[in-house]
Amino acid sequence: MLFSVLFRVGFIWFLACLCIVFSFAQTPKVSDVNATPFPKQSSLLLSELFDEPISAADGFIESNSSRAEQDAGIGIPSPESETPVTSQTVHKPVPSPNNAEPVNAQPVGVQELVDVDAPPSGELATDSESKIQLSINGGARTYHSSNVTRVSGPKQPATAFEVSAGANAIFPKVNLDPSIISFTPTVTVMAQRAYFGQYKLGGKDWSKQDARILDYEFRLASFAAEFSAKDDWTVTLTAEYDELRNFYEGAKLYHAFVPSVGISKIIPLRKDLALLLDTRFRYAISETVIKYEVPGVFDDDGDNLQTSFNFSLMRPMGREGRLLLMPSVGFGRTGYLKNKATGRIDYLLLAGMSASYQLKAWIGLQAFANYSHKFTNEKGKNQLKIAASFDNWDLGLAVTGNHAF
């Protein structure tokens, strides 16, 4: 068992090192630009981006709403786009200039800053700079999962199709001290539906009829305040409500109130390469209303404390930097504090690669490949049985869109 875990950890870090070597070995034939121009109609130089720290609000405007995966606070199968690691929403999944969290991933399992001259009291500046920015976003993605039921075996492959939609209100930046720190409040709502087995890629894939038991609807509402310091560190405080539903029966399966703290920083390695560091601490005050029918999927029971660490390389390529390559690795720990799950600790290792292409300021395409490995402590092994550990690959495509008012 120890050898198996060490082998998987070594594989993940080997993948990350390989991606880093690849990124430095290439001779870019591209202009030095940011691959995510929205809300500007022209691209930003990546070097200019480093001069002004990214706001968490960027992800809300540009991301696929499926950041819910990593933000949901529920142990559900999660292809990590989003990024994975926000939303879905682990998707979060890992933060990406093209895709949020958050996550996401995503269940099944950062607004352009406007400099505001304000006194230390925190007052906003002129009326023109105090407007609330409203936006809507949506997306669709499909992927093939090698182990859709998330068990040690036998593994069941299946395909999935997800659609999501959301809306955001991004408030003006408030300067608490013009030379030290500021914060940007954001309100977000989103919903996502997932359908499984709509088509088959292999003979062993679950059919639509068999996989229907996995279909779900996820809803999220959150208020976030992102604090940005002059040293480019960003701290985000979030209060979030999550809800999981069986939309066929109109029944609620799970809901939770999730306060969280996120800390992140973008470190420029050179003009066309950056390292994103991100860590998050979440406390899910949860309740299971109806027990989910499939063991190992949505297997949480009671309050839990989640800790995650993610490392991602960001490299724009191609003409105007519209293509963004983003390899990432992550680690998550979830400790359970209530009901029969008290004392159980789950661990999740993630590694992935995504390639995003910004067609226009309002629409983008993405291809992704993600590997995940879960294991647990002795209490988890006794409770979850074959769902105590799993390995899974997700390969898929996504399209995301947004519109700002």
Tell me the pLDDT tens digit for each residue of 362-372: 999 999 999 99
Determine the pLDDT at residue 230.
76
Determine the pLDDT at residue 111.
27
- Closest of 400, 275, 367, 378 to residue 328, by C-alpha: 275
Torsion angle in degrees (nearest 10) through CA of 304, 305, 307, 308: 30
**pLDDT, tens digit (0-9, with 9 covering 90-100), for 2-46:** 444 444 545 555 544 544 444 444 433 333 323 333 333 333 334
Whose tokens are 């996502």? That residue is 192
Spatial separation of the C-alpha atoms in residues 387 and 389, rounded to whole Å:
5
Torsion angle in degrees (nearest 10) through CA of 57, 58, 59, 61: 90
Question: Helix or strand or coil: residue 230?
Answer: coil
- Closest of 97, 175, 30 to residue 366, by C-alpha: 97
Determine the pLDDT at residue 130.
75
Q: How far is CA 309 from CA 14, 93, 161, in A?
A: 17, 11, 28
302 Rama class: left (phi>0) / alpha (psi -120 to 50) / beta: left
Number of other CB atoms surrounding residue 311 within 10 Å? 17
Torsion angle in degrees (nearest 10) through CA of 206, 293, 148, 370: 150
Residue 55 is classified by DSSP as P
Contacts of 237 (CB under 8 A, 6+ apart): 224, 225, 227, 259, 260, 261
Angle 91-58-373 from CA coordinates, rounded to 5°: 20
Give the residue ranges of DSSP H helices in 105-254.
208-211
Give the residue ranges of DSSP H helices in 63-202.
68-71
pLDDT surpasses 80 at 71: no
Angle 363-271-84 from CA coordinates, rounded to 5°: 45
* Number of Cα atoms under 13 Å in the Cβ half of residue 256: 26
Angle 151-354-217 from CA coordinates, rounded to 5°: 50
Sign of CA dihedral 110, 115, 121, 127: negative
**pLDDT, tens digit (0-9, with 9 covering 90-100), for 359-395:** 999 999 999 999 999 999 999 999 888 999 999 999 9
In the structure encoding, which two tokens stand for residue 359, read together?
């067609």
Spatial separation of the C-alpha atoms in residues 343 and 330, rounded to whole Å:
23
Mean pLDDT in residue range 240-262: 94
Q: How confident is the model at residue 186 (pLDDT cuts 50, 70, 90)?
A: very high
Contacts of 337 (CB under 8 A, 6+ apart): 302, 303, 304, 305
In the structure encoding, which two tokens stand for residue 100, read together?
């949020």
In the structure encoding, which two tokens stand for residue 20, read together?
């880093």
Spatial separation of the C-alpha atoms in residues 301 and 297, rounded to whole Å:
12
Superfamily of structural domain 2-404: monomeric porin ompg (2.40.160.40)
Mean pLDDT in residue range 58-79: 35
Q: How confident is the model at residue 293 (pLDDT cuts 50, 70, 90)?
A: low
Rounded mean pLDDT of the chain?
75
Spatial separation of the C-alpha atoms in residues 58 and 226, rounded to whole Å:
11
Determine the pLDDT at residue 231.
73
Percent of the chain residues past pLDDT 90, beyond the cut: 54
Contacts of 365 (CB under 8 A, 6+ apart): 356, 357, 359, 397, 398, 399
Q: How confident is the model at residue 264 (pLDDT cuts 50, 70, 90)?
A: very high
Sign of CA dihedral 244, 400, 97, 233: negative
Residue 201 near residue 225, CB atoms below 8 Å: no
Torsion angle in degrees (nearest 10) through CA of 377, 380, 386, 391: -50
pLDDT surpasses 80 at 179: no
